[in-house]
Structure 1
Amino acid sequence: MSEFETSHFLRRRQILGSALALPLAGLSTASAASKTLVVGGLPVTCNLTLPIACSAKGPQFEYSKYSGWPEIKESLMTGRIQAAYMLAPLVMDLADKRIPMKIVSLGHRSGAVIMVRTDSPYKRFADLKGKRIAIPSRFAVDFLFLRKMLAREKMTPKDIEIMEMAPPDMPAALYAKAVDAYCTGEPFGAAAQKAGYARPLAMTRDEWRNYICCVLTVREELIKEDRPIVQELVNYVQAAGNWLDANPVNRDKAARIASGRKFFNQDPNIIKFVMENPSDRVTYGDLRMIRAEFDELMKLSLEAGTLKRPVAYEQYVDESFVKAIKPATIAL
């Protein structure tokens, strides 16, 4: 077992211990439709449908910002929150370990980039051999994207040095030359690009058009205790996706909303940069749950070693809410 696998296994055992000790923690605060449902997310544009859904619906949904996937995972596992945007392969892994949660909707498509310094000589992935590259998590689909790009050059992750890093820290790390490249969701590629010291080496919009990463995930206790609030959340997330892709004016509004202190707390011009350069850098209008796409993610995750065995689709996905969608109005 590698050093990463050992430390990851120990952390997971510690978290699982907490989950077993507190299986119902925090459930009473959001189990009824009259209560506010706290939904966790990262300040990334792959999660942009969440601030829009929360703003459109009002006090029933509250956005809770997290800085990294380990923190959001632990909060979901211990029941401190009952819903969050999560990495799809991470949900597969948790479901395999009998952690009671289900994917109920997509959150976006595309939106990942691999960035290098503008002044670097790197033109192809072969040029990154032996270099240090940051990823958000081994469970991130960004990592699978990186593996795809390396494979085209007949390379593997063993040919580079990989380090895990919270996405907000990546642009500064590249600027300081602490890493040679990073792979993450927006706007943390756009932030460095707009500042002038980084350029994309690859983008999912060009290389992996049906890319999905962040998915709306809820604890099964919430589904059992309050299906209507889960349905309403899915209704508004899907409506937010359609609204975002309907016209550029809505994307401008979304940048202003999501940049606020209540949500991402970022420069609105950076989010706007993501929305416009190019306009399909991240897309939200097609949030269908397609089994074949999840099967592809699982296959890639098995090849990467982040999943140890296949997980039944029904074990980690609940399609019933997407199938029962009722149109919601996004009036912002």
Structure 2
Amino acid sequence: MKIKLCLIFLFFLFFIPISVFAKTTIKVGYLPILDHLTLVVSHERDNEKFKEVNVELKMFKRWDDMAGALNAGVIDAGFILSTVAMDMFNTGSDIKTVLLAHRNGSAITVKKDSDIHSATGLKDKKVAIPHRKATHVALLDKYLRKEGLSLKNVDATVVDPPYMEESMKLGRIDAFIVAEPFGAKAHLHGVGRVLVLTKDIIDNHVECIVVVRNQFLKQNISAVQEWVESLIRSGKFIEKDKRETKLNSVSAIAKKYMGHDEEVVREGLKNPTDRILFDNLNPEISDFQKIADIAVQAGIIEKVDLEGFIDSRFYK
């Protein structure tokens, strides 16, 4: 009997492929913004339970650093601004969009005591943006055009998101547009107030998306599928946590992975509750087209082959 068991063990040891037992590791980049909550919620709740994939997280502070890491193959996937990813795709990056990270999610914030109360008030003002090709720039241009203005009528300057509140406090900028929780943080600290939420510029708009290097994607379809399904579940969990609790679970996870105060996280997610949405992450071409069109109009990207850019088969 012992000999038989030994033979069975040796058979499995030498003849069953290692890939049967090993998980596929996917290295994923993100920034410490609430737009990327599904990633960290998924990691916290599911990473030890995955059968085929192991997710390694890499936090960046700047969009260009993440884009460079994607292009160099340092990371396999990233939660990244849609228009930045579109520009990367246009200039030769072999990446595919597999999911939305969220919908809505940003605000134009002005000084608390500012006399700016509409788009016209931004004329000739210094407005901080997170990246020259950010979705925020296209949304800012869209907002200005409602009053007959455009980006040409403001002084748009790049400031890394963590430094926007301090720049406003020191009087270096008059306004900023950025992902949460930085607008919520400025509001809670008495530095700024919301001029307009981006959901009120274009409702349910695409902003950050999930992209994967195409070479990795083609070689690891089932692993990516398992991960994407977890991200979708995590989005639903966040929305449930909004409705049923005071975001106790989600705010604690955000603090652990992003370092934000839990009160700031709650403000950024629940005031109002559709400030950022996570329950419909379907990467539909029609939704991407809306953002691509205003980005082209703003002059920050060229036209994009969205059918080549989006791989929607993983959304189930």
TM-score normalised by the chain length of structure 2: 0.88
Aligned counterpart, 1:116: 110
For the aligned residue pairs, the C-alpha RMSD in angstroms reads 1.5
- Between the two proteins, the alignment pairs up a number of residues equal to 289
1:48 alignment partner, SS class: helix
Q: Is the 8 A contact 1:107 1:214 kept in 2?
A: yes
Aligned counterpart, 2:222: 228
Is 2:307 aligned against 1:314? yes
Is 2:36 aligned against 1:47? yes
What's the offset of the Cα at 1:292?
A: 0.9
Alignment of 1:70-85 (within 5 A): 70-85=64-79
Q: Is the 8 A contact 1:110 1:282 kept in 2?
A: yes
What's the offset of the Cα at 1:250?
A: 7.5
Residues 199-237 of structure 1 deviation map (CA, whole Å, 9 limit, x = unaligned): 000102333212111001000111122112211121111
What's the offset of the Cα at 1:33?
A: 5.9
Aligned counterpart, 2:13: none
The one-letter code matched in structure 2 to 1:45 is L
Alignment of 1:184-203 (within 5 A): 184-203=178-197
What's the offset of the Cα at 1:115?
A: 0.3
What's the offset of the Cα at 1:98?
A: 2.2
Aligned counterpart, 1:14: none
Q: 1:68 aligns with which of 27, 51, 62?
A: 62
Larger Rg over CA atoms: 2
Q: Is the 8 A contact 2:106 2:198 kept in 1?
A: yes
Is 2:255 aligned against 1:259? yes
Alignment of 1:83-102 (within 5 A): 83-102=77-96
What's the offset of the Cα at 1:35?
A: 4.3
Q: 1:105 aligns with which of 84, 88, 99?
A: 99
Alignment of 1:1-332 (within 5 A): 34-59=23-48, 60-248=54-242, 249=245, 251-260=247-256, 263-308=257-302, 310-322=303-315, 325=316
1:275 alignment partner, SS class: helix
CA distance in 2, matches of 1:251, 1:36: 30
2:206 alignment partner, SS class: coil
Percent identity over paired residues: 28
The one-letter code matched in structure 2 to 1:279 is T
Structure 1 gap segments, 5+ residues each: 1-31, 326-332
The one-letter code matched in structure 1 to 2:190 is G
